Amino acid sequence: MKSFRKVLTQHTNSRRAFVNITRDVAAAVAESGIREGLCLVNSMHITSSIFINDNESGLHQDMEKWLETLAPEKPHSRYAHNGYEDNADAHLKRSIMGREAVVAVTGGKLDLGTWEAIFYGEFDGKRDKRLLIKIIGE
């Protein structure tokens, strides 16, 4: 079995964003040379997420509103963690959205459903964050 590792860096200019990283992950699969296996993508930061969903702007707006309802950014005083930093809401949003996605690799390509795309979810941006891509297989 072969193994391939690649680290991507994401930097958003806004505090929160959803970034389609499907092409970057597909490029890593091609670079790996692995034809059959599994591809793990995970955020290496506790205030960002990796998830799979539809690449549709209305859905992204709905997700943003939903997350803000569940874990509003302000007032900062509502969270004990904000005595250290002002990003407690970002930690909670990451807990809801998850840290990683695993996708099958078939015939050297990501085996995604018709409308599926891989997204990086940023909840405390404006700085560099690392994403790990780990591909295993033959």
Instruction: Indicate the SS3 state at residue 117.
Output: strand
Kindly report, residue by residue over 115-125, the tens digit of the pLDDT: 999 999 999 99
Record the pTM.
0.96
Q: How confident is the model at residue 27 (pLDDT cuts 50, 70, 90)?
A: very high
List the structure tokens of 9: 């860096």
pLDDT at 35 over 90: yes
pLDDT at 84 over 90: no
Across the chain, mean pLDDT equals 97
Element of type H or E holding 59 = helix 57-70
CA 12 to each of CA 16, 91, 123, 126, 129: distance values in angstroms, whole numbers, following the listed order: 8, 17, 10, 5, 9
CA 132 to each of CA 7, 113, 122: distance values in angstroms, whole numbers, following the listed order: 5, 22, 15
Cα separation, 34 vs 105, whole angstroms: 8
Paired sense of beta strands 48-54 and 17-20, if any: unpaired
Q: Region 69-86: what's the mean pLDDT?
A: 94
Instruction: Indicate the SS3 state at residue 50.
Output: strand
Q: Region 20-31: what's the mean pLDDT?
A: 98
Kindly report, residue by residue over 38-69, the tens digit of the pLDDT: 999 999 999 999 999 999 999 999 999 999 99
